[in-house]
Amino acid sequence: MAVIVTESLKDPALLRKIPGRELKRYMLPLNDGPVEITELDIPRPAAHDACLQLAAALRPEGYYAQLQDAHIMYVVFPHTISVVRRADPTSEAAAQRVGTLFSIPLAQMDFLRMFTTPYPNAPTPTR
C-alpha cells in the first residue's frame, strides 16, 4: 500500500500514472492545515517503479510518501528512497536522518509505529 499526501506532489496528475488502484482519499490535519491523503494499492512488482516516480515528483521539502507491506517500508523523499524494516530501529533512524534533510519534523517520522498505526502522532483523520 502507498500513502501519499496529494499536496506533496509537484503535479497531482501523477497519481493517475502510478500503477495500482486507489483505495481511498481523506483529509488529515498536518502542519498548518488539513491535507488530502491518497492511499493506493500498488502491486509488488510495480513498487520499485512507483517509488522512482514519487521520488522524482515530490516537492523539495516538507513531505515524503511511503509504500509498505507488513515487513518493509519504502520511505520516498525527493530524489531519495530509504528502506525501513519492521522492528529495525537502525533502519528507522537512517530514514529519519534523511527526512530531516527535507525539513520533516521528527514527530512525523515514527516509521516503526506506522507498521501498526498509520498516523501515530496525528489527530484522527476526517472523512
Q: Environment class of residue 50 by beta-carbon count within 10 Å: exposed (0-12), middle (13-18) or buried (19+)?
A: buried
pLDDT tens for residues 18-54? 989 999 999 988 777 899 999 999 999 999 999 999 9
Cβ atoms within 10 A of the Cβ of 58, count? 24
Radius of gyration of the chain (CA): 13
Task: Give the residue from 101, 102, 99 showing the smallest Cα distance to 110.
Answer: 99
Domain spans, the chain: 2-114
Mind listing the pLDDT tens digit for each residue in 48-88? 999 999 999 999 999 999 999 999 999 999 999 999 999 99
